[in-house]
Amino acid sequence: MRLSQILKAKLHHARVTYANPEYVGSVEIDRRLMERAGLTDGELVHVWAVNHGARIETYCFGGPPGVIGLNGGAAHHFHVGDRVVIAAFALTDEPITPTMLLLDDDNRVVRDMTPFSVVG
C-alpha cells in the first residue's frame, strides 16, 4: 500500500479576526465551518496568507461563529484582517473529494467550490 497526502478540506479567503500571542498556540475556527469542512478539534492544518508570504502548520479547535483566530507563535505571523487559506490533508490510498469553501469578509460561506469528483 502506498499512502499519499491528499487535500481533504480548504477554507479559502478566511479573514483573521484576532491574533493572540499569549495563548499556547493553534488556530480557532468557527465550529460550523469546521463541521462543514470535516475538520476535527486537534487536527493538523496549514494556514497560508493570501496577502503576504506567511505559512504555518498548527492544530485547529472550534470556536464561535465568524471566528478565525491565530494563537501563540502563529499570532506573530498574521494580523487581524489578513486573508488566509486553511487547508487540511489526509494520508490515504484512495481518492478523496476535498471540501472547498470560499468565505466572505465575515467568514461566511459564499460558495461551495467542492469538486463533484476527483479522479483517482
What amino acid positions are annotated as catalytic residues? 26, 59
**Amino acid making up residue 110:** V
**Amino acid making up residue 34:** M
> Is 72 marked within a binding site?
yes
Does residue 25 contact residue 102 with C-beta atoms inside 8 Å? no
> Is 58 marked within a binding site?
yes
Q: Cell numbers for 90, please give them.
A: 489526509
Q: Cell numbers for 105, please give them.
A: 469578509
> Is 42 marked within a binding site?
no
Give the residue among 43, 33, 86, 37 at the shortest CA–CA distance from 64. Answer: 33
> Is 73 marked within a binding site?
yes
Residues annotated in the binding site for substrate, as ranges? 58, 72-74
Residues annotated in the binding site, as ranges? 58, 72-74
